[in-house]
Amino acid sequence: MGTIAVVGASLSGLHAAEALRAGAAGAPGYEGEVVVLDASPTLPPDRPPLSKQVLAGEWELAQAKVPLADRLGELDLDLRLGTTATWLGPDGGDGRTLGLDDGTELQVEGVVLATGAAVRHLPGPPLGGVHAIRTGEDAVALCADLDAGPSRVVVVGAGFIGAEAAATCRGRGLEVTMLEAASTPMVRVLPPEVGAFVADLHRDQGVDVRLGTGVERLEAGADGRVRAVHLADGSVVEADVVVVGIGVVPQTGWLEGSGLQLGDGVVCDGTMLAGPRVVACGDVARWPNPHFGEEMRVEHWENAVEQGGHAGRRLLDELAGRPGTPFGPVPWFWSDQYDRKIQLAGRPAATDEFVLVDGTVEERRFAALFRRGDRCTAVLGVNRPRHVMQARMQLAESLAWDAVAARFAPTD
């Protein structure tokens, strides 16, 4: 009986492990050993609540559980927490060797790569009071600093994680400055109307939003804690706590020498196969999504769940010599900021046309479609879940602009 290793015991890795045991359509589940590793000494938390309920102080960290956390016993896994995979050998024809940081070398007939992404840091030495939000420890450490009642919080980066952190800190009654190097939040990936809306949403709530100015350096006090942020335009913002949300990097460094193609993630084919007997899923995986005809890497919760399951089944197909099926979802995610639920389905680009189909941006309650020629690439809703759901279902059928827009045509 062989062994499959799943590297990463977070959302996508656990869903892959579940699929390995459950089996593919008409085919039995894997009966060999399934070793699931994670560098984290404890089971990784469900990450979305970290910047929401946990940061707000409404939930204990233990409440942020990934959906499968309570069912792991049923899956008969060899779960090795606090264990880091340090190298993966090239394909030997009938399997590979996986090297672990405790010196163990595992002979495996299949591998699931689910190592996610790690946060980017600002240059310079670590300082007290400066936080990122990715792990449970990150969230607990930031909460402790917020509980101490800082007078000024600075959030660096106005992407979705930074914006959620800013909203949650405002919800705690703290003074918040949000800094963004670009002229508009998220302008590299979304039409400018979206970033302008996010900036205004935060200004409405009293956040000091400063755009188009990068961080030059952080200044520390004699106690080794941050006390100010120096900006590229020469201004200085006082800070007791700094939250850095400037994006993530897929965790692939340890795979150099594996023979796999790496490049902003583990590069897979359209079925999530990265190489012989190796699949990848979740935040670390890059693949050509056949529905959009575009290569993508998606950092969303639901993608990690669905792609994890797909990757597990794909590995079973690979071991049985069956061809895999393509993975072509409509990516979807949500973000909670103040009393607004922002939902986005699809794959927009910064240059897509922003077409309002319901509500108004001014009342901070609207639905908009994104158009690229004769295609609808995405839908965005702010407190408009029904519109997003409708458009998402249509996008799953076809990206044709006329078909999606027709769903929102006024009726007499």
Ligand X SMILES: Cc1cc2nc3c(=O)[nH]c(=O)nc-3n(C[C@H](O)[C@H](O)[C@H](O)COP(=O)(O)OP(=O)(O)OC[C@H]3O[C@@H](n4cnc5c(N)ncnc54)[C@H](O)[C@@H]3O)c2cc1C
Query: Could you list the residues that contact ligand X (CB under 6 A)?
Result: 7-8, 10-13, 37-40, 44, 47-48, 50-51, 84-85, 114-117, 133-134, 161, 251, 254, 282-283, 299-302, 304, 333-335
**Of residues 116 and 348, the one with the C-beta less far from ligand X:** 116
Residue with tokens 């689910």: 114
Tell me the C-alpha distance between 22 and 39, whole Å: 25
**Nearest CB to ligand X, comparing residues 39 and 279:** 39
Least Cβ distance, residue 333 to ligand X (angstroms):
3
- Which DSSP string corresponds to 154-189? EEE--SHHHHHHHHHHHHTT--EEEEESSSSTTTTT
Nearest to ligand X of 117, 167 (CB atom): 117
Q: Which residue lies nearer to ligand X by CB, 327 or 401?
A: 327
The least distance separating ligand X from the CB of residue 281, rounded to whole angstroms, comes to 7
CB of 294: closest distance to ligand X in angstroms?
A: 19
Q: Which is nearer to ligand X, 37 or 77 (CB)?
A: 37
217, β-bridge pairs: 230
What's the min distance (Å) between Cβ of 254 and ligand X? 5
* 145-164 b/e (C-beta count within 10 Å ≥ 16 → b): bbeeebebbbbbbbbbbbbb
With contact defined as beta carbons under 8 Å apart, do 327 and 289 qualify?
A: yes
Q: Which two tokens stand for residue 146?
A: 């917020």
Smallest distance, ligand X to C-beta of residue 23, A: 21
Range 259-289 burial, b when 16+ CB lie within 10 A, else e: ebebeebbbbebbbbbbbbbbbbbbbbbbbb
Q: How far is the CB of 140 from ligand X (least distance, A)?
A: 13
Which of 115/377 has CB closer to ligand X?
115
Residue 264 half-sphere exposure toward CB, CA atoms < 13 A? 9
Least CB distance to ligand X at residue 40 (A): 4
Q: Which is nearer to ligand X, 116 or 371 (CB)?
A: 116
Question: How far apart are the C-alpha atoms of 147 and 320, rounded to whole Å?
Answer: 54
Contact between 155 and 178 under an 8 Å Cβ cutoff? The reply is yes
Q: Shortest approach of ligand X to residue 373 CB, angstroms?
A: 27
Q: Which is nearer to ligand X, 116 or 150 (CB)?
A: 116
Residue 139's CB is within 10 A of a number of other CB atoms, namely 25
Q: Are strands 3-7 and 110-113 parallel, antiparallel or unpaired?
A: parallel
Contact 155, 169 (CB under 8 A): yes
- Judged by beta carbon, residue 219 or residue 333, the one nearer ligand X is 333
How far apart are CB 334 and ligand X at their closest, in Å?
5
**C-alpha to C-alpha distance for 412 and 395, rounded to whole angstroms:** 25
